[in-house]
Amino acid sequence: MSVLEIRNLHASVEDRAILKGVNLTLRSGEVHALMGPNGSGKSTLAYVIAGHPHYKISEGDILIDGESVLEMEPDERTKAGIFLAFQYPVAVPGVSVANFLRTAVSNVRGYTAQPVEAEGRSGLIGSNLMPMREFRRELNDKMKEFNVDPSFARRYLNDGFSGGEKKRTEVLQMAMLEPKFGILDESDSGLDIDALRVVSDGINKLATPDRGFLLITHYQRILNYVRPNYVSIFYGGRVVMTGGPEVAHMLEEKGYGWVEREFGEAVAA
């Protein structure tokens, strides 16, 4: 079992404090939903876990299986088992989904660190990629399993994709990269009902005993399809309450106004 642990995490951007003492533990096999109003710092937490250089950490730690990742670059954190699914995935014209995935998978699985011994190029580091035949077979299997049209492989990454297509592609990325922990930043954003069901089905297939999910969302609706083990309320840059699925139902019924009334003064203090 793997454990992602966030201890008393404080982070800022341009000298403005956003995370103010986040404590959260995610274990393999768990789905932990993180809910909160706009501006509470949920997306910042996701970016900081993934190693976005825009944010400065002033206190606290992020650990995977007891090892701090704070000194790791984003690609090193990916190799350590962290995957971030963006709320608004960026389009990359000119780079096909297949080429992007082959390069990413090769890097995470260590192919690019092996010397090339063919064609007199022995000793060159970083030239290896996952063998094409092996990669194609695995990609085709995953696309079929996760309801991704085979034509996606030839399309440029997220270029001209609908919201649902972008989110399906990120599920495909997770399936290929096989992270220990998936951090999903509002994966339900901009999805219609059919797309939401497809994406939720993909997440449920990936939610194995070997993988944990931190599911960041505003709304209950995705939790109707992806059942969380825990639900935490995030407000004012920290976790203010944790419980079971009933917490999400309470937020759906009451909204977030009571959270500010109950926890606003404590956060300010």
Indicate yes or no: pTM above 0.75: yes
The whole-number pLDDT of residue 269 equals: 44
| Confidence tier at 248 by pLDDT (50, 70, 90) | very high
Q: Read out DSSP for 11-60?
A: EEETTEEEEEEEEEEEETT-EEEEE--TTSSHHHHHHHHHT-TTSEEEEE
d(CA 12, CA 248): 28
139-165 residue pLDDT tens: 999 999 998 999 999 999 999 999 889
The residue-averaged pLDDT of 2-26 equals: 96
Say what percent of the chain tops pLDDT 70. Answer: 93
Would you say 207 and 213 are in contact if contact means Cβ atoms under 8 Å apart? Answer: yes
- Partnered with residue 137 across adjacent β-strands are none
The whole-number pLDDT of residue 191 equals: 84
| Confidence tier at 126 by pLDDT (50, 70, 90) | very low
Would you say 181 and 83 are in contact if contact means Cβ atoms under 8 Å apart? Answer: yes
The whole-number pLDDT of residue 25 equals: 97
Q: Between β-strands 212-217 and 238-243, what pairing exists: parallel, antiparallel or unpaired?
A: unpaired
The residue-averaged pLDDT of 94-115 equals: 91
Q: Read out DSSP for the chain?
A: --EEEEEEEEEEETTEEEEEEEEEEEETT-EEEEE--TTSSHHHHHHHHHT-TTSEEEEEEEEETTEE-TTS-HHHHHHHTEEEE-SSPPPEEEEEHHHHHHHHHHHHTTGGGSPB-STT-TTBSS-----HHHHHHHHHHHHHHTT--GGGGGSEETTT--HHHHHHHHHHHHHHH--SEEEEESTTTT--HHHHHHHHHHHHHH--TT-EEEEEES-SGGGGTS--SEEEEEETTEEEEEESTHHHHHHHHH-SHHHHHHHHHHHH-
Residue 63: pLDDT over 50: yes
The residue-averaged pLDDT of 193-221 equals: 91
| Confidence tier at 122 by pLDDT (50, 70, 90) | low
- Domain residues of the chain, as ranges? 3-89+162-268, 94-160
32-53 residue pLDDT tens: 999 999 889 999 999 999 999 9
The whole-number pLDDT of residue 87 equals: 86
The whole-number pLDDT of residue 264 equals: 75
The whole-number pLDDT of residue 78 equals: 96
Q: Which CATH fold would you assign to the domain 3-89+162-268?
A: Rossmann fold (3.40.50)
Q: What is the mean pLDDT of the chain?
A: 91
Give the CA count within 13 Å in the CB-facing half-sphere of 8: 3
